[in-house]
Amino acid sequence: MKLSGSVCLPTSKSESNRALMIAAYGGFPLETGNGELSEAHDTVLMKALLKQTSLQAEPSASRCSTEEIVVDCEDAGTASRFLMTYLACRPGTWVLTGTPRMCQRPMAPLIETLRQLGADIKCLDTEGKLPLKITGTRISGGEVEIDASKSSQFVSSLLLAAPTWEKGLRLRLKEGAVSLPYVDMTVSIMRHFGAFVERHDAEIVVHPGTYQSRQYMVSADWSAASYWYEMAALSEDCDLMLEGLKPDPLQGDSVVAELYQSFGVQTSFEPNGVRLTKAVAASLDKPLELDFSMKPDLFPAVFVTCVALHCPAVFRGIQNLSLKESDRVDSIITELSKVYSFDCAVNNNEIILGSSLLMNQNRLNNVIVFRTFDDHRVAMALSGLSLVLGPVSVDHPEVVSKSYPTFWKERMHIL
C-alpha cells in the first residue's frame, strides 16, 4: 500500500503542560498566539485541575479551611507529578489521587524530596504512591538531590516551582536519571518565560525570581509522529507530509527521524512540515542496537516496526516501560504474539529480538482484534500493522484521546 497525503499532527502535550504550569506559578493567563494548546486529554485535564485548585484555594466563607479537596488526576502521570509540587506550595488541604493504575505508579522520589524541602505530604494507602494528603505550606527551596531513574517528571515538577521559592533550588540528579531530554525541555521553556536556570550535567540551579508573561507557540508533537514513521516503514511506498513538524531539539523524540533511516524512511524538512518518503532500507549485517532510556515513548512504534519487518534488534533502556499506562513491553509482546512467531529474550533492562515470522495466513482470515491495555501508545502502534496484515481492530480505541484525539480521523483520511 502507498501512503500519500497530508497529516495534521497534534501540538505537544509535553510543551503545553509545562507552559500551563508556568502560567499558574506566574499568575498570568497563557497566551499561545496563533498556536494552540494540545487537545490531548492529559492537557485538557491539567488545565481543568489548575482552574479547580486556583478557585478552591481562594478564601471562602462557605468552606472550612481544613476541608480536604480532592484533586483527581485520573490516569495522567504528568498532571499528578506536576500538581504534587504545586499543591504542596498552595494554601489548603488536598487529596491527590487517580485511577487504580495511577495509584500503582511510582511517586516516592518526588514525595521524599519535597518532604526534605519542608512539604507536608502523607501517603494515605501505600507509602510512596497515590493517594496523598497534601497540606499546603510555604517552601523556601534550597539544596537537595533526587532519584530520577524512574521518571524525569520528578525533576521537572520541582524545577517548574523553583523560581517562586525564596532560595530557589540547587538540584542534583543521582546517577541513572532517565528521559533527560524532557528535563532540557522544561529548562528551555522556563527560560522562555524569564526564569534564570543553569544546568551543569547532573546539577541544575534555579535562581529565585518571577516568571514573565510571554507568548508561547506550542510545537507539533514528535512523539505522535512516530506512528506515521512506523506506517511509512511498513508501506510499499510513501509520500506523506506531517504538517507543523520542524527540527526541534526541544523535543527529544525528534530523534525518530534519524532512527527510521534504518528502515528506509527518508525525512525532508520543508516550510510546512516534514515530508516522509521511502527508500530501500540499508542492509543490516548485525541486529540494530537501540537505547530507549532517553526516548521511551518511541518504543512501541519501533518494536512493532522491527517485528513486522523481521528485523533483529537489541532494545536497551526499557526498565521503566513497565511503569507506564500499561507494562508496555508485556503488552506489545503479548499482542504481537497473536500474529507473529518471534524469538524474544527479555530481562530487566534489555530485549533481544531475533527473527520473526508471520503466522500461517489461514489464521488471519478474520479481522485481528488487539487489546490496548488502556494504553494510548500501544493502541496506535499496533494499528500500524494493518499495512501488512490487512484490516485490524483495537479494543477501546478511545484511549488515543490521552495524547492524539484525532488519530483515527487522520488515519482514515490517509488509508
Strand-pair category, 93-97 with 237-243: unpaired
Give me the pLDDT at residue 330, please: 96
Residue 76, Cα to own-chain centre: how many angstroms? 10
Digit-coded pLDDT (tens) for 103-136:
999 999 999 999 999 999 999 999 999 999 999 9
Rg (CA), the chain: 22
More confident residue, 413 or 79: 79
Digit-coded pLDDT (tens) for 384-393:
999 999 999 9
Strand-pair category, 368-370 with 350-358: unpaired
Cα distance between residue 352 and residue 182, in whole Å: 27
Inform me whether the pLDDT recorded for 333 exceeds 90.
Answer: yes
Inform me whether the pLDDT recorded for 362 exceeds 60.
Answer: no
Q: What residues does each domain of the chain span?
A: 12-206, 219-414
Digit-coded pLDDT (tens) for 176-189:
999 999 999 999 99
pLDDT band at 284 (very low <50, low <70, confident <90, very high): confident
Inform me whether the pLDDT recorded for 57 exceeds 70.
Answer: no
pLDDT band at 415 (very low <50, low <70, confident <90, very high): confident
Give me the pLDDT at residue 61, please: 38
Give me the pLDDT at residue 54, please: 86
**Superfamily assignment of 219-414 in CATH?**
Enolpyruvate transferase domain (3.65.10.10)
Cα distance between residue 20 and residue 198, in whole Å: 22
CA distances from 25 to 37, 83, 93, 161 (A): 18, 11, 18, 7
Amino acid at 80: S
Using the structure block, give the residue that is written with the C-alpha cell 507494562: 327
DSSP letter assigned to residue 11: B
pLDDT band at 361 (very low <50, low <70, confident <90, very high): low
Cα distance between residue 386 and residue 64, in whole Å: 56
Cα distance between residue 62 and residue 179, in whole Å: 44
Cα distance between residue 329 and residue 327, in whole Å: 6
Give me the pLDDT at residue 224, please: 98
Residue 345: how many other CB atoms lie within 10 Å? 10
The alpha carbon dihedral of 228, 233, 238, 244 has a sign of positive
Spatial contact of 238 and 17, defined as CB atoms under 8 Å apart: no
Question: What is the mean predicted confidence (pLDDT) over 306-318?
Answer: 96
- The topology (CATH level 3) of 12-206 is UDP-n-acetylglucosamine1-carboxyvinyl-transferase; Chain (3.65.10)
pLDDT band at 272 (very low <50, low <70, confident <90, very high): very high
Q: Which of 75, 253, 297, 374 is labelled catalytic? A: 297
Is residue 297 annotated as part of the catalytic site, yes or no? yes
With 0-12 / 13-18 / 19 or more C-beta atoms within 10 angstroms meaning exposed / middle / buried, residue 369 is exposed
